């Protein structure tokens, strides 16, 4: 099975927010900046276009030693030999996904309540995406913010990898880090930046600043 890397930034694609750059260019810049997890998330593209982009991105991630994860589309994750698949509460449950993908692929599940988290883990999730932490306009059906206290609860009660998501940026990442979460998924804070490498470095500076002031 692919291994969930010990890393801080989890980049998620969104071409419509990427200032005219396509997903391949954005991923190239994220990887060059040292991002070790890339999730391909595109709700509006055709399967054919998703497959074309994911084949290229999967290869780029392998060459860079990064984990490539596909959102929702189990078939595309399998066809592109992705390292993982991420599903939401309205998608196939983790145990059903496991029957399709076998043992080699990581399965991530979105969870916004204690019940959703417990069920995802019981069904075999390898990691959890927790959120939205703050309000976000990136995902239309994101739901109400779960808040920082819920992140603390998750850190105290679960030992599998936890990824915070939803409205995280350079101005508030220190607050999220303060809950004990160590991996932060972001869309617009990364892909909408004029200079993606500079955005990654700024986020990491903020995390380092918090660590040195503890």
**Tell me: the pLDDT tens digits for 103-118?**
999 999 999 999 999 9
Kindly list the structural domains of the chain, giving each domain's residue range(s) and its CATH number in brackets, ordered by start.
9-213 (3.20.20.70)
The lowest-confidence range among 66-75, 114-123, 202-211 is 202-211
The answer on pLDDT for 128 being more than 70 is yes
- Location of structure tokens 């019981």: 122
CA distance linking residue 89 with residue 79, whole number of Å: 23
Q: b or e along 173-205 (b: 16 or more beta carbons within 10 Å of the residue's beta carbon)? A: beebbebebbbbbbbbbbbbbeebeebbebbbe
The answer on pLDDT for 138 being more than 80 is no
Contact, 11 vs 39, CB < 8 A? yes
Contact, 87 vs 72, CB < 8 A? yes
Handedness of CA 117, 122, 128, 129 (dihedral sign): negative
Active site residues: 41, 110, 139
pLDDT of residue 2: 86
Q: What average pLDDT does the structure give for the chain?
A: 95
pLDDT tens column, 165-194 = 999 999 999 999 999 999 999 999 999 999
Judge residue 161's burial from the number of C-beta atoms within 10 Å of its C-beta, 0-12 exposed, 13-18 middle, 19 or more buried.
Answer: buried
Q: Which of 161, 74, 68 is nearest to 121 (CA)?
A: 161
Q: Which residues pair with 71 in a beta bridge?
A: 86
The answer on pLDDT for 214 being more than 60 is no
Phi-psi category of residue 74: left, alpha or beta, with phi > 0 → left and psi -120 to 50 → alpha: alpha
Query: Helices 23-32 & 196-213, crossing angle to 10 degrees?
Result: 40
CA distance linking residue 15 with residue 75, whole number of Å: 21
CA distance linking residue 4 with residue 68, whole number of Å: 10
Q: Which residues are CB-contacts of 24 (< 8 A; sequence separation ≥ 6)?
A: 53, 56, 57, 60
């Amino acid at each position: 099975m692919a291994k969930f890397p010990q890393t801080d930034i989890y980049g998620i694609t969104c071409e419509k927010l990427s200032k005219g750059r396509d997903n391949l260019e954005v991923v190239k810049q994220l990887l060059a900046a040292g991002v070790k997890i890339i999730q391909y998330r595109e709700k509006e593209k055709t399967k054919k276009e998703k497959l074309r982009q994911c084949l290229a991105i999967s290869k780029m991630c392998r060459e860079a030693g990064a984990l490539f994860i596909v959102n929702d589309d189990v078939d595309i994750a399998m066809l592109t030999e992705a390292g993982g698949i991420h599903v939401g509460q309205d998608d196939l449950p983790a145990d059903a996904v496991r029957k399709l993908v076998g043992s080699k692929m990581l399965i991530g599940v979105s969870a916004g309540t204690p019940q959703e988290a417990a069920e995802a883990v019981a069904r075999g999730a390898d990691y959890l995406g927790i959120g939205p932490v703050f309000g976000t306009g990136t995902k239309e059906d994101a739901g109400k913010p779960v808040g920082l206290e819920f992140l603390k609860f998750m850190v105290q009660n679960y030992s599998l990898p936890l990824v915070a998501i939803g409205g995280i940026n350079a101005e508030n990442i220190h607050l999220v880090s303060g809950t004990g979460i160590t991996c932060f998924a972001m869309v617009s804070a990364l892909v909408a930046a004029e200079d993606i490498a500079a955005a990654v470095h700024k986020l990491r500076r903020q995390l380092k600043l918090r660590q040195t002031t503890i």
